[in-house]
Amino acid sequence: MIKNFLKEIGDDMNIEDISQLLVKVPLFNGYSISSVTLFLKETEYQIKTYKKNETVFFRGDFITNVNILIKGTLIAEMQKFNGNSIVISHIKTSEILAPAFIFGEDNTFPVDLITLEEVKLLMIDRDKFFTLIQKNEKLLLNFIDEISNKSQYLSKRIWFNFVNKTIGEKVLSYIKKNSKNNKIKFSPNISSLAKKFDVTRPALSREISNLCKKNILKKVDKNTYLVNFDKFSQKNI
């Protein structure tokens, strides 16, 4: 018997509405809205809603579903031994939660997942999903791509923190990678970025202030600065 639990997402949202959200998910690249609708009709799934600042999953929780974020933003945090937390990544709408940990020997979440706003998750039973990807080559390839892309992202993240040892090196690398039209926005805010760099907020703020004193940065708006790349030393480019 097919079970489609739609009430939790709201009475104004039907299966076609959900399909329009899912076609934006990389897992369904190449699918039409009608084909996603057919997929949902043949699949056991449920949708759960979480409030702002709620922990959706804790590190070590078992993964029994393919969890797709269809609304809102999550942060992935890891607790250090001293009690401080490090923001590993921001998970945005259309992403799958911990895709590389759904299958394999250790089917547990590697980090805590906390909401930054109201969040809605579409959950598909893991065993049912496994049966589906065996029957559908396109879905299988999309899922493999999703795992590969996340693994590559984490590899780059580890390399970033390994190579850039000082706060200054981390900030300059971040500016180089994320600036557009000679402008950089420290997003989503300085506190979150400090956690990502595994430094304190005051230390990061001081480094940004030092770059302003050196005329490398010029503040134009909240968390937004003009970048003078002529002031970058060659070794930092």
Give the three-class secondary structure for 67. strand
Tell whether the model's pLDDT for residue 2 goes beyond 50. Answer: no
The pLDDT score that the predictor gives to residue 82 is 65
Tell whether the model's pLDDT for residue 196 goes beyond 90. Answer: no
Query: What does the block give as tokens for 141?
Result: 């390839």
Query: In CATH, what is the architecture of 164-236?
Result: Orthogonal Bundle (1.10)
Q: How confident is the model at residue 74 (pLDDT cuts 50, 70, 90)?
A: very high
The total number of residues shown for the chain amounts to 237
The pLDDT score that the predictor gives to residue 80 is 67
The pLDDT score that the predictor gives to residue 39 is 87
The amino acid present at 217, given as its one-letter code, is L
Place of tokens 């980090």: 111
Tell whether the model's pLDDT for residue 7 goes beyond 70. Answer: no
How buried is 235 (Cβ within 10 angstroms: 0-12 exposed, 13-18 middle, 19+ buried)? Answer: exposed
The pLDDT score that the predictor gives to residue 159 is 63
Say yes or no: do domains 4-162 and 164-236 share a fold: no
Tell whether the model's pLDDT for residue 181 goes beyond 50. Answer: yes
The predicted-structure confidence for 28-60, as pLDDT tens digits, reads as follows 999 999 999 988 888 888 999 999 999 999 999
Q: How confident is the model at residue 11 (pLDDT cuts 50, 70, 90)?
A: very low
Where along the chain do its domains lie?
4-162, 164-236
Distance CA 87, CA 168 (A): 19
CATH 2.60.120.10 for the 4-162 domain, yes or no: yes
Give this prediction's pTM.
Answer: 0.65
The predicted-structure confidence for 84-120, as pLDDT tens digits, reads as follows 777 878 898 999 999 989 998 889 998 899 999 999 9
